[in-house]
Structure 1
Amino acid sequence: MSETQLLASISEAVTIAVSELVTVAKLQAGDLLVMGCSTSEVRGARIGTESTTDVGETIVAAATAVLEPQGIALAVQCCEHLNRALVLEKAVAMQHNWPICNAVPQLHAGGATAMAAYKHFKEPVVVERVAADAAIDIGDTLSGMHLKPVAVPVRLAVKTIGEAHVTAGRVRPKYIGGARAVYDESLM
């Protein structure tokens, strides 16, 4: 497969996966989706060993093409060298009162996908943590740590993007009460 074909297949898989997650998680304008991604894993290598900017840029472009028209914000998780901090739009950080950190993701200190987000976003900032409504993890990067309680696994039709394993999650409101409690099925 040529590089062009590989990037096209990655873009298509990300578009399908993110679209499905938006639907299953019932995301709407104002919600936040967090994405963790190892471009090394997408390329078939061990996480952190072969980061590639073209793959990161392809993934961010495909995800934002799905999310932006719906008013859903994207936060892209950095690698462990930036303590899994996140890149997002300044307006989203300000809206949630998330403290802004001084860091600019690099290829081997943040990762290619976080670099791509920092380049792509209009006013990018880095924050240490968020409380997201849904998460997609491409390459087992542990992005679920940034979900609001209560996290619920989502089984997507897309199981891999490139060579990377894909997992996803959404949140639901906490159940409170006990044996006498009645719950709203539409919120489950």
Structure 2
Amino acid sequence: MAAGISNEKYNHIDEIKNEVREILEDLIAQAKPMEGDVLVVGCSSSEVNAHKLGTFSSEEIGQALFEEISKVASEHKLYVAAQCCEHLNRCLCVERELAIKRGLEIVSVVPKLKAGGSFATAAYKNMDNPVMVETIKAELGMDIGDTLIGMHLRAVAVPVRTKINTVGNAHVVCARTRPKYIGGERAEYI
């Protein structure tokens, strides 16, 4: 196996799937997204498995988390945008349908375990019609392992505190977005 790639079996797959589901359901309950909104997810399988970011990519963990996240997103009629690692400049794997609807420019690359990451690799393998895009402006975000998803959130990002904030050993941060407030002292906001 290549350096930095894990081929060991992770013993807590059901546990991490339950944790990610609980966090995501909590995020959705608080954020109240609309049908067709985008959830951007960054994920370090290394961090989930108690290793330093980018040092121990696990195909098994990436696959399990993508399955659970895409299942929950589908139940709530949300799109998933899977952020790649820094080696692919944090580009994203999305469904072609979403890229067309949002007018996103498709780029040519295929994520792999050490160039894209395990989560984006799983997304590319399992989406119905995956394409890669350079950027997106998502309404919701879930960052598993401090992978820095902020560049792909709409302005204005608002932190969402969920009941639990770890998946495996990885720290999780969630966000929703809201429209910008404009105007002065006479302005009223919704």
Q: 2:80 corresponds to which residue? A: 74
How much does 1:120 deviate? 1.0
SS of aligned partner of 1:108:
coil
Give the ranges of 4+ consecutive aligned residues of structure 1 lying more than 6 Å apart after TM superposition: none
1:7 equivalent in alignment to 2:33: no
Equivalent position amino acid for 2:142 in 1: I
In the alignment, the residues of structure 2 paired with residue 157 and residue 174 of structure 1 have an alpha-carbon distance, to the nearest angstrom, of 27
Q: 1:16-55 counterparts in 2 under 5 A? A: 16-55=22-61
Pairwise CA RMSD: 1.2
How much does 1:99 deviate? 0.5
How much does 1:4 deviate? 6.4
TM-score (norm 2): 0.93
SS of aligned partner of 1:178:
coil
TM-score (norm 1): 0.94
Count of residue correspondences: 183
Equivalent position amino acid for 2:123 in 1: A
How much does 1:28 deviate? 2.1
1:59 to 53, 60, 65: 65
In the alignment, the residues of structure 2 paired with residue 60 and residue 34 of structure 1 have an alpha-carbon distance, to the nearest angstrom, of 12
Equivalent position amino acid for 1:91 in 2: E
Q: Which runs of 5+ in 1 are unaligned?
A: none
Equivalent position amino acid for 2:143 in 1: D
Q: 1:1-188 counterparts in 2 under 5 A? A: 5-184=11-190
How much does 1:69 deviate? 2.3
In the alignment, the residues of structure 2 paired with residue 158 and residue 73 of structure 1 have an alpha-carbon distance, to the nearest angstrom, of 23
SS of aligned partner of 1:170:
strand
The structure richer in helix per residue is 1
Q: Which runs of 5+ in 2 are unaligned?
A: 1-8
